[in-house]
Structure 1
Amino acid sequence: MKILLTNDDGVHAPGLAALVRRVSEVGEVVVVAPDREQSAVGHALTLHHPLRASRIAENIFAVEGTPTDCVNLGIHSLLTFRPDLVISGINRGANMCDDVTYSGTVAAALEATLMGIPAIAVSLATTGAGEHYDAAAEVAARLAVTVQSNGLPPDTFLNVNVPDLPAGDLLPPLITRQGKRSYEGTIVGKVDPRGRNYYWIGTADQSYQDIPGSDYHAVSRGHVSVSPLHLDLTNYASLEELKRWELR
């Protein structure tokens, strides 16, 4: 396999380093990752200023841009081959439930899928710095081989969340669906030394709904969660109801 690796924690993140070590054993690896942390940038694409990319080591490029930029630039300019697979991660912190819409890690896999390339987003479900990236990298490598053998359904990529546990303590992977989270976040407002207001977003505790069959339900019990996500955001259950509207 020829594999493009990226992330949203930055090119020097420990999760990416663990991924490189293990995935290099199953394929030829090139890293194209942001030069700094780009967490929660979603599917942002840089359009209004040029991107700069630096080759910082053999087959490792740092890009002054978002994870989506990295996938675009890597596939269209930096790589000498079209990758068989894109793996994004290993993210520090879970990407579960409704949070996937914010995630740069997930967005990089989505971008690869738009280009017709199989993709996997991998996150370590930790609230701290993370201890067991090597265990998550083992999960990613095994999934890479499985995807190579079986392929993925059209317009589908995998969102994988791994509990922060030693490999021997992880329970078997479960195929899950995207769960739900309660959003009751607070915004902390403060005043700087010059008397101007500033604000911190994202300061509230995470509150996931413990729904059977969901990604959070699996991870909270020690299972690896593997959720198939796709690109079509249409709410098909609402189509017939909306067709009854008298739109003018």
Structure 2
Amino acid sequence: MRILLSNDDGVHSPGLVALYEGLKSLGNLEVVAPDRDHSGASNALTLNRPLTVEEHPSGFRSIDGTPTDCVHLAVNGLFPESFDRVVSGINTHANLGDDIIYSGTVAAATEGRHLGLPAIAVSLVSEGQNHFETAARVVRMLLESERPLSLGPRSILNVNVPDVPWEELAGFRVTRLGNRERAESAVPMTCPRGKERYWIGAAGKGGDAGPGTDFHAVAQGYVSLTPVHIDMTRHEALVSLRTWADSLPDVHGGGV
């Protein structure tokens, strides 16, 4: 098995190192990750300048770009051999519900999927214990399953792991994305030159966090497995939207 590993926390992240150590005996692993923390980068792709690749003594490669850049270059230029799949993580914080819209971890996985590779995004729902080895063991179990997982086209698996020792995991639950309440207010501050600056406020708590959601599963000690479809079309709204659009004036009617 030939696996590409990436993340959004940077090439020196302990989560990435733990993932590599946990999977390295499965086959041929290549690591291509940002040279610094790019949390919240979403699917940004760098198009206004060339990118620099650096190889580290560990064998890991870093790129002065986004998580999406890393996967795109790795699959489409850095290596002559193809990959079997992409694994992104282990993120140092949760990627639950709305988080996936902003997440560079999820973006790295979706870029792999865009390029035709099965992909997993994995995050540790951190409680400050940093049990990255638990999350790495979860990913290994998923990859070693006797029944290959197929989610269909343009889909990835989003995995969130409670921050507990392996022995304390309650098991696995298949979940849907929940959603968060409104984010906290921006935090003003004054820089050393006397100018006002702002920190983005903290993410809101789980608003839709009941049974069946990823929020609820991890709160109960379960690993959350959520299939995420990259097609963002709200298919259920197409019929009502067509009816509404049919009531609009004719763009060519009545004008001069």
Alignment TM-score, normalising by the size of structure 1: 0.95
Aligned to 2:215: 216
Per the alignment, do residues 204 and 156 of structure 1 end up closer, same or farther by CA in structure 2, a change over 3 Å counting? closer
Q: Which moved more, 1:39-48 or 1:150-159?
A: 150-159
How many Å apart are 1:195 and its aligned residue? Answer: 2.3
Q: CA separation in 2, counterparts of 1:204 and 1:81?
A: 40
Per the alignment, do residues 147 and 216 of structure 1 end up closer, same or farther by CA in structure 2, a change over 3 Å counting? farther
Aligned to 2:82: 82
Structure 2 runs not aligned, ≥5 long: 250-256
Give matches, 1:1-248, under 5 Å: 1-57=1-57, 59-128=59-128, 130-146=129-145, 149-203=148-202, 206-245=205-244, 246-248=247-249
How many Å apart are 1:180 and its aligned residue? Answer: 1.1
Give the AA of the match of 1:193.
Answer: P
How many Å apart are 1:58 and its aligned residue? Answer: 5.3
Q: CA separation in 1, counterparts of 2:140 and 2:41?
A: 26
Q: Which moved more, 1:154-163 or 1:237-246?
A: 237-246
Per the alignment, do residues 247 and 25 of structure 1 end up closer, same or farther by CA in structure 2, a change over 3 Å counting? farther
Query: C-alpha offsets along residues 22-75 of structure 1, whole Å, 9 cap, x if unaligned?
Result: 111212100000011000110010011111010113541011010000001111
How many Å apart are 1:218 and its aligned residue? Answer: 0.3
Q: CA separation in 2, counterparts of 1:133 and 1:193?
A: 37
Q: What secondary structure, in the 3-state scheme, does the structure 2 residue paired with 1:32 have?
A: strand
Retained in 1: the 8 A contact 2:3–2:87? yes
How many Å apart are 1:206 and its aligned residue? Answer: 3.4
Q: What secondary structure, in the 3-state scheme, does the structure 1 residue paired with 2:144 have?
A: helix
Alignment length, in residue pairs?
247
Q: What secondary structure, in the 3-state scheme, does the structure 2 residue paired with 1:87 have?
A: strand
Retained in 1: the 8 A contact 2:41–2:66? yes
Retained in 2: the 8 A contact 1:188–1:203? no
Q: What secondary structure, in the 3-state scheme, does the structure 2 residue paired with 1:97 have?
A: coil
Q: CA separation in 1, counterparts of 2:214 and 2:54?
A: 36
Q: Which of these two proteins has the greater Rg computed from alpha carbons?
A: 2
Q: What secondary structure, in the 3-state scheme, does the structure 2 residue paired with 1:240 have?
A: helix
Retained in 1: the 8 A contact 2:183–2:201? no
Query: C-alpha offsets along residues 156-190 of structure 1, whole Å, 9 cap, x if unaligned?
Result: 11000000000011011111111111014210112
Query: C-alpha offsets along residues 186-228 of structure 1, whole Å, 9 cap, x if unaligned?
Result: 1011222322111000335534432211101100000000000
Q: What secondary structure, in the 3-state scheme, does the structure 1 residue paired with 2:223 have?
A: strand
Q: CA separation in 2, counterparts of 1:63 and 1:180?
A: 32
Retained in 1: the 8 A contact 2:206–2:215? no
Retained in 2: the 8 A contact 1:3–1:87? yes
Give the AA of the match of 1:20.
Answer: Y
Q: Which moved more, 1:196-205 or 1:219-228?
A: 196-205
CA RMSD, 1 decimal: 1.6
Retained in 1: the 8 A contact 2:159–2:226? yes
Give the AA of the match of 1:94.
Answer: A
